[in-house]
Amino acid sequence: MVKHYEFFVMTNDEYDTAYIGDIVKEYVKESGVKNGIVSVITAHTSCGILVTEPLDCILSDLKDLLTEFIPEDAEYSHAHFLHTYGRTSANSYGHLRSIFTGNHTLVSLVDGSLAMGAAQEIVFMEFDGPQQRKVYVDIIGE
Amino acid sequence: MIIDVYTFPGFLKEISQDEERIAFRREQYFLLKQHVWPLSLFVTQMNAAGIDKSIISAEDVTTKAGDTIVSNEEVKLLVDLEPDRLIGFASVDPNREDAIEVLEDAFSNLKLSGLKLSPAMQRFYPMDEKAQQLYEVCIKYNKPIIFEAGMTWIKDSPTKYSNPLLFEDVAIKYPDLRFSLGHFGWPWVREVAMLLLKYPNVYADTALLYFDSPKQFFNTEFNNTLGEFWIDRMLYNKVMFGSTYPRIEQKRMVGAVNSLTLRDEQRRMVMGENALRFLGMEE
């Protein structure tokens, strides 16, 4: 059985984070699927999804790392008008940070619950906000 | 107080319920993949950029394309939802037979705060007799005009109508008409600097981004094409912050202006105080 769900994350700043594990758990409960795999994927290319411990200090360290590793004001090629959009791109650092973190995570589903360690949380990462971000949840199993 | 004088509201959810109208806007305004999002998100984006108020403008291309891209009534609807954050500008196609009535209605009934005109998109010369009749309505109501000057990205919009030097006769004939040259009239930024220098009623905005990142492009245009200190020393009371949102994020254009050489007082004027005077809202 495959169950597909979608929800939006409204972010509040250019760089922002949101814990989304509880939303995913609600969909798991609603789906009725007991065993399988759950994928959580964002529909965008300048934000990310990852699993880490939900501590401000870890998220702060990650922000410092990403900002140093992928700075805002480097001489990016992706800084020009896009005729296919009718708008200007100047968010290469957002795309690169997204590539760095990845756009999805997978979690095992066992006996109706997400098989996650006690320290694990699913985190949505915004790198070009504020935006309205779409997230897909697919629950695959039986 | 930071005011963005150049934004387009056409993809805000509250006025974007009809798929055909959204498709018409994407095509006519040349924002081909623009998402629809709620007004609340626009306000959040303004907050993140530190912007207090944004001018949102209607766009009327009735005689060219058969409809408005955004109507005056839609602008009024949005302003009523966020009256402390949005300032509404009307648009009237000067080639409409009822242009004067539409503008009178926008000022007297809809209470909009100014007029946005795009000579290239709407296909009229700034000194066209039909346009001059609209200027006289603006003077009667003490309302300013924002002209889209220089290059527009919008298709089928010849730049021959919007060369900034064409507005000099408007400045001379209508000294009581406050008007702004959008996009700083790019690529004619030196000509616009001349008009700002010479005519008290002429303003310009920073809504220009045609190459590079905002900071790089501003460095090219404001530090090299123009002199690095020209705004700080001379044009500080004539230049207003504008972004062209959603063609680019407001936060990036704020960052670009912040990268310019401006003393604190001059920066405050560029970011908001000049707009208040332009709008007739100066205390």
Cβ pair A51, A120 in contact under 8 A: yes
Euclidean distance between CA atoms A36 and A34, whole angstroms: 7
pLDDT digits (tens, 9 = 90+) for B57-108: 999 999 999 999 999 999 999 999 999 999 999 999 999 999 999 999 999 9
Please count the other Cβ atoms lying within 10 Å of the Cβ belonging to residue B17. Answer: 9
pLDDT digits (tens, 9 = 90+) for A116-126: 999 999 999 99
Superfamily in which the A12-26+43-105+122-142 domain is placed by CATH = YjbQ-like (2.60.120.460)
pLDDT of B283 higher than 80: no
Structural domains in chain B plus CATH codes: 3-279 (3.20.20.140)
The verdict on a CB contact (< 8 Å) between A81 and B210 is yes
Cβ pair B61, B69 in contact under 8 A: yes
- Nearest-by-CA chain A residue for B208: A88
Per-residue pLDDT, B282: 79
- Nearest-by-CA chain A residue for B245: A87
pLDDT digits (tens, 9 = 90+) for B169-221: 999 999 999 999 999 999 999 999 999 999 999 999 999 999 999 999 999 99
Please state whether beta strands A36-42 and A132-141 pair in parallel, antiparallel, or not at all (unpaired).
antiparallel
Nearest CA-CA distance, residue A73 and chain B, Å: 9
Cβ pair B119, B157 in contact under 8 A: no
Number of DSSP helices (H) and strands (E) in chain A, helices first:
3, 10
The verdict on a CB contact (< 8 Å) between B248 and A87 is yes
Size of interface A-B (CB pairs under 8 A): 63
- Residues 6+ away with beta carbon under 8 Å from B51: B2, B3, B4, B250, B254
Could you say which of A10, A90, A129 has the minimum Cβ distance to residue B213? A90
Cβ pair A140, A5 in contact under 8 A: no
Calculate mean pLDDT across residues B9-26: 97
Cβ pair B96, B133 in contact under 8 A: no
> By the CB < 8 Å criterion, does B246 face chain A?
yes
Q: With both helix axes pointing from N to C terminus, report the angle between B99-108 and B72-81 in degrees, rounded to the nearest 10.
A: 10
Per-residue pLDDT, A51: 98
pLDDT of B167 higher than 80: yes
3-state helix, strand, coil split of chain B in percent (to 5) is 50, 15, 35
**CA angle A14-A19-A20, nearest 5°?**
110
**CA angle B187-B189-B191, nearest 5°?**
110
pLDDT digits (tens, 9 = 90+) for B27-53: 999 999 999 999 999 999 999 999 999
Q: In what order do the strands lie in the sheet with B239-240?
A: B3-7, B53-57, B86-91, B114-117, B145-148, B179-182, B202-205, B239-240
Euclidean distance between CA atoms B68 and B28, whole angstroms: 10
Euclidean distance between CA atoms A138 and B20, whole angstroms: 31
The verdict on a CB contact (< 8 Å) between B41 and A14 is no
> By the CB < 8 Å criterion, does B252 face chain A?
yes
Residues in chain A within 8 Å Cβ distance of B153 = 81, 86
Interface of A with B (CB under 8 A): 10, 12-14, 73, 76, 79-81, 84-88, 90-91, 128-132
The verdict on a CB contact (< 8 Å) between A132 and B35 is yes
**Sequence ranges of the domains in chain A:** 12-26+43-105+122-142
- Residues 6+ away with beta carbon under 8 Å from B40: none
pLDDT of B132 higher than 70: yes
pLDDT of A95 higher than 70: yes
Q: Which residues in B124-227 belong to E strands, given as ranges?
A: 145-148, 179-182, 202-205
As to burial, measured by CB atoms within 10 angstroms (0-12 exposed, 13-18 middle, 19+ buried), residue B40 is middle
